[in-house]
A = this chain, B = another copy of it.
């Protein structure tokens, strides 16, 4: 019963075929690489199929030989991103969380996430596109779900307080904050970049700490009294 590739949904967004020839397999990658570079350079609005083709030195016709439409290329880029993130989150889950303090976990986890952001080009326009283009929205949601649920798993192992629902809410705050600040971090020069990364760790550590047992969010409350 050969049905390896049957999980594929959204036919209109998947590559036309699994390329037969070596050359073709390379082309598919080239298209994605060039598209990522152009996305970074010119932004989503000026990213046209003609531009991609020209930059690659092939014709638009050839481009459409590999992808059924423009969104399919973006979709493939989004899948790449999601895969990287999946690996990273699995890495995090395999940390010996139980033997770590929350701060130790945060330190390692943020470093791991930073590596993903550094490796991937065009993170900002890509993630914006995943949100803005209805056909790609599902990928964005999958991404968020992945990160948030894995984080919630880890939060449980760290013995944080609160229901599953609550831990997932904290996961979203973690995600949004980390995403926003890492975008700054990767665009800054070394010294500033390093300091901003420290700031991020400080903030996320405070977030996690505030949900640890034995913390009654005391610092703020007492001030307000």
Contacts A173-B184, A176-B180, A177-B181 given; indicate if A198 touches B217 (C-beta within 8 A): yes
Is A118 located at the chain interface by the 8 A CB criterion? no
Is there an interface contact between B192 and A183, defined as CB atoms closer than 8 Å?
no
Contacts A180-B180, A195-B166 given; indicate if A133 touches B45 (C-beta within 8 A): yes
- Cα–Cα, bound, A172→B192 (Å): 11
- 44-60 of chain A: CB within 8 A of chain B: 44-45
Is A15 located at the chain interface by the 8 A CB criterion? no
**Closest Cβ–Cβ distance, residue A112 to chain B (whole Å):** 16
- Cα–Cα, bound, A219→B204 (Å): 13
Interface of A is mostly: helix
Is A216 located at the chain interface by the 8 A CB criterion? no
Chain B hits for A200, CB < 8 A: 173
A184, A199, A217, most chain B CB atoms within 10 A: A199
Is there an interface contact between B203 and A203, defined as CB atoms closer than 8 Å?
yes
Q: From A172, which residue of chain B is reached at the shortest CB distance?
A: B184
- 141-190 of chain A: CB within 8 A of chain B: 166, 169-170, 172-173, 176-177, 179-181, 183-184, 188
- Cα–Cα, bound, A125→B98 (Å): 41
Contact size range, A: 35 or more
A184, A202, A204, most chain B CB atoms within 10 A: A202
- Cα–Cα, bound, A188→B170 (Å): 13
Contacts A103-B223, A169-B192 given; indicate if A45 touches B202 (C-beta within 8 A): no
Is A122 located at the chain interface by the 8 A CB criterion? no
**Closest Cβ–Cβ distance, residue A86 to chain B (whole Å):** 22
**Closest Cβ–Cβ distance, residue A133 to chain B (whole Å):** 7
Which residues does A use to contact B, with CB under 8 Å?
43-45, 101, 103-104, 107, 128, 132-133, 166, 169-170, 172-173, 176-177, 179-181, 183-184, 188, 192, 195-196, 198-207, 210, 217, 219-220, 223-224
